Amino acid sequence: MNSRFQQPIIHRIFLSVILLIASGLALSTPLLGKPAEQAETLIVSAEGLADPNSDTYKRDKGLMIDDLRRDAQRQAIEKAVGVYVESNTLVENYLLIEDKVLSKSKGLIKQILDQSSPRLGEDGLMHMQIKAEVFIAEVKSALQSLSRESRLSLIKEHGNPTISVAVVIRDARRSSDTTPENSTIAENILKEHFVDFGYRVWSEEYTRLLQQDVGGGQTGRKIADFSVIGEAKFKQASITLKASGIQVTKHVLTSWTVKCINNHTGEEIYFNNKVPKNKSWADEDQALEDIGRLIGQEFSKDFFETELMKPSQKYQIQLTGLPDYDTALLFKDEFVGLRTILNAELLNFEMNGLSIYEVECTGSGGSFAQVLNNTILKPLNTKLDGPRMQLKSQHGNVVRVTIDPGPRPELLQQSIQHNPPASLAAASPERIGKLITDRELLDKVLRMNSGLGKSMKESGQ
Asked if residue 163 has pLDDT above 50, the reply is yes
Q: Residue 368's closest CA among 451, 442, 288, 262?
A: 262
Read off the pLDDT band of 34 (50, 70, 90). Answer: very low
Residue 380 and residue 395 in contact, taking contact as beta carbons nearer than 8 Å = no
Whether residue 111 has pLDDT greater than 70:
yes
pLDDT for position 457? 54
pLDDT at 100: 83
Q: Does residue 402 have a pLDDT over 90?
A: yes
Residue 260, in any domain of the structure = yes
Same domain, 335 and 235: no
Q: What is the pLDDT of residue 157?
A: 66
Between 40-44, 216-220, 370-374, 394-398, the lowest mean confidence (pLDDT) is in 216-220
**Pairing between β-strand 109-115 and β-strand 247-262 as defined by DSSP bridges:** unpaired
Domain boundary among 308, 333, 362: 308
Residues 73 and 187 in one domain: no
Report the CATH number at residue 421.
3.30.1360
Q: Residue 446 pairs with which residues in a beta bridge? A: none
pLDDT at 210: 64
In a domain, 9, yes or no: no
Residue 218's pLDDT is what? 44
Residue 26 falls inside a structural domain: no
Sort strands 200-203 and 162-171 into parallel, antiparallel or unpaired. parallel
Determine the residue type at 449: N
Residue 408 belongs to a domain: yes
Q: Which residues, 6+ apart, have CB-to-CB distance to 77 below 8 Å?
A: 101, 102, 104, 105, 108, 109, 134, 139
Looking at the fold, whether 301 and 321 belong to one and the same domain comes out as no
Same domain for 320 and 304? Answer: no
Q: Is residue 452 part of a domain?
A: no
**Which residues have a Cβ under 8 Å from the Cβ of 24 and sit 6 or more positions away?**
none
Structure confidence at residue 33 (pLDDT): 33
Are 332 and 386 part of one and the same domain? yes
pLDDT digits (tens, 9 = 90+) for 255-279: 889 999 988 778 888 999 888 777 7
**330 and 353 both lie in a single domain:** yes
Residues 285 and 336 in one domain: no
Inside any domain, residue 434: no
Count how many domains the chain has: 3
Both 272 and 179 in one domain: the answer is yes
The CA–CA distances, whole Å, from 34 to 28, 138, 363, 373 equal 10, 21, 31, 46
Q: Is residue 432 part of a domain?
A: no
- What is the average pLDDT value for the chain, to the nearest integer? 82
Mean pLDDT over 133-137 rounds to: 93
Taking 80 as the threshold, does the pLDDT of residue 293 lie above it? yes
pLDDT at 430 over 70: yes
Lowest mean pLDDT among 80-89, 108-117, 233-242: 233-242
**Number of other residues whose CB lies within 10 A of the CB of residue 135:** 19
Residue 448 lies in a domain: no
Global pTM reads: 0.72
Residue 143 and residue 214 share a domain? no
Residues 232, 334: one domain? no
Which of residues 119, 150, 181 is at a domain's end?
150
* Domain range for 94: 41-150
pLDDT at position 177, please? 61
Query: Which residues are CB-contacts of 439 (< 8 A; sequence separation ≥ 6)?
Result: none
Strand partners, 346: 357
Last-in-domain residue among 289, 308, 327 = 308
Say yes or no: 296 and 260 in one domain: yes
| pLDDT category of residue 22 using cuts at 50, 70 and 90 | very low
Considering the domain architecture, whether residues 139 and 167 belong to the same structural domain is answered as no
